Amino acid sequence: MINKTILASATALMLTMGSAQAQEKTLTISVYAFGQDEFKEIVYDPFEAKCDCKLVVETGNSVERIAKMEANKDAPVIDMAVVSMADALSASRMGLIDKIDTSKLSSYDKLYDIAKDPNGDGMSVGYTFYATSIAYRSDKMTVDSWADLLKDDVVSHIAFPNVTTNQGPPSLYMLGKALGSDAADLKTPIEAVGKKKDEIVTFYVKSSQLVQLMQQEEIWAAPVGRFSWAPFTKLDLPIKWATPKEGQTGGMNVMVVTKNSKNRDLALEFMDFWLSTEIQTKLAEKLVDSPANAEVKVSDEVANNITYGEETAKSLKLIPSAIALDNRDAWLAEWNAKVGQ
């Protein structure tokens, strides 16, 4: 009887230890709130099944998520995060992230060159990027240059992104190039927008409001990210995506590994899974993310709704992260002085 009790206790202890070990294999990731149902179906659930681990997903905007990483710097509660290029550099400057061992990423060599080391410091890997250009009513106007947005016969039908949005600085940067200025301070384009501020329909914060404005014919054009393009194509209106002579701009989101994470290897395994041709293809087909993996092949219909292809990847004129970080406050001050909100 005693032996049976000992055996039962030992078995229970082993089960408890096994359960504890299973529970210990947990990866905590920090991501954008966007498209979480699709990510769960395409990325999270399949990875959990593959790694026999638990994935804890935390969502929020970049400011909140970086702040949480900073608050827990000495004892990280997040293992891996996806953020913008500029936020990755910011996190690197604060000592919140570590170099990525790309030798452990079997998908690394499949990435477009711009995604391999976006900030040039080895601290991040791009997983999706997007083009920013101008969606416009082709029956009302033509767009050969970013400067066409400020033409006298067009400007009163324009929405322009606020400087505080992801689309604001890149759009101003391209407008500046069209006006003959490549300066990082963006003073030339901000001043040009300021002179027309009373004629511009709105300085938008959320791109979702643009579709309604276009449908109601209150606006004819607006700079937008390619990820916002699909709803415009569903309007019964002649709307085109511009290819201005100065080029297209855009942005990139990247993956980072938290410094002192106890689950570094699992984080790298998850990153590699997300960057794989199979997963990147599925995300592209669902119009969730534009692929950074150059091996991804999609239909023309899908390609038309995302940022896709080597030619596009090479043509994007992205603002370097250091310039974005070092000038952010000055941009806002200049914008408030010349445009105001």
- Of 270, 296, 317, nearest to 128 (Cα)? 296
Neighbours of 281 (CB within 10 A): 18
For the question of whether the overall pTM of this predicted structure is more than 0.75, the answer is yes
* All domains of the chain in start order, with CATH: 2-129+252-309 (3.40.190.10), 130-250+320-338 (3.40.190.10)
Q: Report the first-to-last Cα separation within the chain, whole angstroms.
A: 80
Closest CA to 57 of 44, 69, 41, 66: 44
Residues 6+ apart with CB under 8 A from 18: none
pLDDT of residue 227: 82
The percent helix, strand, coil of the chain (3-state, each to 5) is 45, 15, 35
pLDDT of amino acid 56:
97
d(CA 103, CA 338): 48
pLDDT string in tens for the chain (341-residue length): 555 544 455 454 445 444 444 456 999 999 998 889 999 999 999 999 999 999 999 998 888 899 999 999 999 999 999 999 999 999 999 999 999 999 999 999 999 999 999 999 999 999 999 999 999 999 999 999 999 999 999 999 999 999 988 899 999 999 999 999 999 999 999 999 999 999 999 999 988 899 999 999 999 999 999 888 888 988 999 999 999 999 999 999 999 999 999 999 999 999 999 999 999 999 999 999 999 999 999 999 999 889 999 999 988 889 999 999 999 999 999 999 999 85
Residue 146: the pLDDT is 98
